[in-house]
Amino acid sequence: MVYRWRITWTMLLVVTVIIFAGCGAQQSQGLPTTVPATEATAVSQPTVEPTTIPMPTEVPTAAPTSKEKQKLTILSWQAVTTLNPHLATGVKDFNGATVILEPLARYNENDELVPFLAAEIPTIENGGIAPDGTSITWKIKPGLKWSDGSDFTIDDIIFTWRYCADETTGCTNKTSFDPIANIEQIDETTFKITWKEPNPNPYISFVGSAGMILQQKQFANCIGSVANTDAECQAANLAPIGTNAWRLKEFRPGDTVIYERNPFYRDADTVFFDEVELKGGGDAASAARAVCTTGEGDFALNLQVPKAVLEPILKDGTCDVIAGGSTGGVERIVINFANPDPALGDKRSEPDQPHPFLTDPVVRKAIALAIDRKAIAEQLYGPTGAPTCNLLVVPASANSPNTTCERNVEEAKRLLDEAGWVLKGSVREKDGVKLVVTLQTSINTLRQNTQAIIKSNLAEIGIQTYLKAIDPAVFFSGDPGNPDTLNKFYADLQMYTFGPSSPDPQSYLEGWICAEVTSSANRWNGNNVSRYCNPAYDELFDQLKKEFDPQRRMELAIQMNDLLVNDIVEIPLINRYTPAVKLKNLIGPTFNTFDSSLWNIATWRRIP
């Protein structure tokens, strides 16, 4: 059974979902800019030995069998680096974890909540949600097992909350668990979550990619600062025991994950594939060709490929394109409000070290005015993306009409001139500080071409730009010891895609409050990567957390989006409609706005 929302976001009065198809605002941006050639510095990927997980000591009496072993091959050019979703910063790692771990419920292709470990979705009508918003009561399916044969219990759910709620753990999904005051077990299959304050977003915890549940037995000693440093915890992060249809067989971080059947899975006899291989590395275009041209893969994720390359691959019709409306992800430029100068040593990019010129709103405004979104969309993205002025684009009703992003190079120059940034040669400077920036992103042809356009745009207004491209397995990893992660942000500007993980944007918008600022204190796992801190924004967020009226919630969310955009905290570029592809005989994959593309992988099958 699935449940839909009756209003725009998850609210206490809802049972049905409005299906949202978000789209970016189309803006006039001036003439396109030709894509210049670019050079990029890649970060090498370290060699890691494969990780294996031991066989369970207890074997079921009736394991599913098949005459011919069936293997599912999934291609992801962004390779998986961890299988613990609560220490992950990239969608690639959520995908890798999804094959093993599960939440209570997930969002399907229609933005409906579907029970997974839960027996049903709590509502006011069935008594699961308190009318005053103070609690939610979940029932889990009876007889659930972990892949090691042990019982799944409510203690595992309580443990996952405590694991993520501990500030020293560095849980990247902490905002999904922060509203919880207590979890009380009622019986073997029923538990009640009591919120710290009345909660208008009752499905914020244990739902979707951010809500996957860890086994207490395996991670019991991994709460706190040891989560990503202790050897036992590192081993658990690379080989979690799960409840989904497969368990880990072998893992080469930054390369390949191989999964085998979980004989303890509750619906093991319905699972078609005996083995799943998630291959990482390479590039998105090669992944598309491997499915659509050579048939070497069954499914390819996240085809962030320039339109000139992607269109010929897809035109033959030898594969099916999995696409829908907005992915809920906006490709954006993130501004670093902290100083990334290497000369600062351990204080580099710490929030108490203000950036020497990006804290100047005039410089940020000039950068936003100079960027040619129209050229990026038309020359590079084509049908896979549209220019947008907003950071919040889903649901469609949250797409603010109050923001503008027309390109205006002359206005950008005027602002810089008036603020005293004098053009000397080809670069502007003021008080001995030169406008020279480093723009970093992950290695991907589409992103490198976008970097090149932006470099050319900024040169027009007297800002010199150095480009840096980082292996996506490194850039999107949560490794606190790696200097090139997006959370460390050892650059002035960086570019990637991010979006809400549910129809309610509360957790997404929490990513810019002062308490979430990323720093060494939270082992670089705070969600506020830009190090932006504005009491006015925090006040709006506090109102959003307490507001039950759907129209007022919408108004607050739009206000928060407008503040971020107009204060140039981040510069939205493209509302992405990035497709995936599958072989025609692979049945099951769907488009998904708010969850992993692998959300229903246990139901996939191959037909003759």
Residues 492, 356 contacting (CB under 8 angstroms): no
**pLDDT at residue 479, as a whole number:** 78
SS3 439: strand
| Separation CA 532–CA 536 (nearest Å) | 12
**pLDDT at residue 327, as a whole number:** 62
Q: In which domain, by residue range, is 508 found?
A: 330-576
Instruction: Say yes or no to pLDDT of 166 above 60.
Output: yes
* Residue 96 host element (H or E): helix 91-98
Name the β-bridge partners of 438. Answer: 466
Give phi and psi for 483, each to the nearest 5: -75, -10
Radius of gyration of the chain (CA): 24
Q: Confidence class of residue 62 from pLDDT cuts 50, 70 and 90? A: very low
Residue 501 lies in a domain: yes
Residue 170 lies in a domain: yes
| Separation CA 471–CA 485 (nearest Å) | 10
How confident is the model over 30-40, as pLDDT tens digits?
323 333 333 33
β-strands 570-576, 275-280 pairing: unpaired
Mean pLDDT over residues 578-597, rounded?
A: 94
| Separation CA 518–CA 251 (nearest Å) | 29
Nearest of 282, 283, 277, 278 to residue 310 by alpha carbon: 283
| Separation CA 214–CA 102 (nearest Å) | 9
- One domain for residues 563 and 596: no
How far apart, in Å, do the first and last CA atoms of the chain sit? 29
| CATH number assigned to the domain comprising residue 429 | 3.10.105.10
- One domain for residues 584 and 570: no
Residue 81 lies in a domain: yes
- One domain for residues 512 and 373: yes
The H helix count followed by the E strand count for the chain is: 15, 23
Give phi and psi for 587, each to the nearest 5: -110, 135
- One domain for residues 127 and 141: yes
Q: What is the pTM of this model?
A: 0.83
Residue 304 lies in a domain: no
How confident is the model over 64-84, as pLDDT tens digits?
444 689 999 999 999 999 999
Beta strands in 505-593 (DSSP E): 570-576, 580-583, 586-587
Q: Confidence class of residue 328 from pLDDT cuts 50, 70 and 90? A: low
| Separation CA 95–CA 252 (nearest Å) | 15
**pLDDT at residue 2, as a whole number:** 44
Residues 14, 7 contacting (CB under 8 angstroms): yes
**pLDDT at residue 138, as a whole number:** 98
Q: Confidence class of residue 473 from pLDDT cuts 50, 70 and 90? A: confident
- The residue to which tokens 């570019």 are assigned: 495
**pLDDT at residue 36, as a whole number:** 36
| CATH number assigned to the domain comprising residue 588 | 3.40.190.10
**pLDDT at residue 571, as a whole number:** 98
For 400-436, the DSSP string reads -SS------HHHHHHHHHHTT-EEETTEEEETTEE-E
Q: Confidence class of residue 174 from pLDDT cuts 50, 70 and 90? A: very high
Instruction: Say yes or no to pLDDT of 89 above 90.
Output: no
- One domain for residues 248 and 395: no
Give phi and psi for 332, each to the nearest 5: -140, 160
Q: Is the dihedral of CA 223, 228, 232, 235 positive or negative?
A: positive
β-strands 319-322, 493-498 pairing: unpaired
Domain count, the chain: 2
Residue 64 lies in a domain: no
Residues 136, 120 contacting (CB under 8 angstroms): no
Side-chain-side CA neighbours of residue 594 (13 Å): 31
How many of the other CB atoms lie within 10 Å of CB of 346?
6
Residue 545 lies in a domain: yes
Cα angle 297-303-304, degrees, rounded to a multiple of 5:
150
3-state class percentages of the chain: helix first, strand second, coil last, to nearest 5:
30, 20, 50
- One domain for residues 499 and 530: yes
Q: CB under 8 Å to 341, separation ≥6 — which residues?
A: 348, 356
How confident is the model over 252-286, as pLDDT tens digits?
999 999 999 999 999 999 999 999 999 998 899 99
Instruction: Say yes or no to pLDDT of 442 above 50.
Output: yes
Side-chain-side CA neighbours of residue 539 (13 Å): 4
Residue 312 lies in a domain: no
Question: Which amino acid is present at 44?
Answer: S
Residues 501, 208 contacting (CB under 8 angstroms): yes
Beta strands in 431-531 (DSSP E): 433-434, 436-442, 464-470, 493-498
Q: CB under 8 Å to 539, separation ≥6 — which residues?
A: none
How many of the other CB atoms lie within 10 Å of CB of 442?
27
Rounded alpha-carbon distances, angstroms, from residue 326 to 25, 82, 528, 596: 12, 27, 23, 14
| Separation CA 202–CA 220 (nearest Å) | 27
Q: At what angle do helices 361-370 and 409-418 cross, to 10 degrees?
A: 160
Query: Residue 395, preceding bond cis, omega within 30 degrees?
Result: yes
β-strands 436-442, 135-139 pairing: unpaired
Q: Confidence class of residue 11 from pLDDT cuts 50, 70 and 90? A: very low
- One domain for residues 427 and 462: yes
Nearest of 570, 528, 576 to residue 368 by alpha carbon: 570
Instruction: Say yes or no to pLDDT of 153 above 60.
Output: yes
Nearest of 243, 247, 188, 177 to residue 214 by alpha carbon: 243
Residues 117, 127 contacting (CB under 8 angstroms): no
Task: Find the length of the chain.
Answer: 608
- One domain for residues 275 and 364: no
Mean pLDDT, the chain, rounded, equals 89
For 287-336, the DSSP string reads HHHHHHTS---SEE------HHHHHHHHTT-SEEEE--S--S-EEEEEE-
**pLDDT at residue 326, as a whole number:** 61
* Percent of the chain whose pLDDT exceeds 70: 88
Instruction: Say yes or no to pLDDT of 12 above 50.
Output: no
- One domain for residues 410 and 551: yes
* Burial class, 132, CB count within 10 angstroms (exposed 0-12 / middle 13-18 / buried 19+): exposed
**pLDDT at residue 16, as a whole number:** 32
How confident is the model over 531-584, as pLDDT tens digits?
999 999 999 999 999 999 999 999 999 999 999 999 999 999 999 988 999 999
Cα angle 586-589-595, degrees, rounded to a multiple of 5:
160
**pLDDT at residue 406, as a whole number:** 94
- One domain for residues 585 and 565: no
Beta strands in 147-204 (DSSP E): 180-187, 190-195
**pLDDT at residue 397, as a whole number:** 86
Residues 212, 55 contacting (CB under 8 angstroms): no
* Percent of the chain whose pLDDT exceeds 90: 79
- One domain for residues 409 and 264: no
Mean pLDDT over residues 395-411, rounded?
A: 93
Residue 54 lies in a domain: no
**pLDDT at residue 27, as a whole number:** 33
Residues 291, 88 contacting (CB under 8 angstroms): no
- One domain for residues 409 and 429: yes
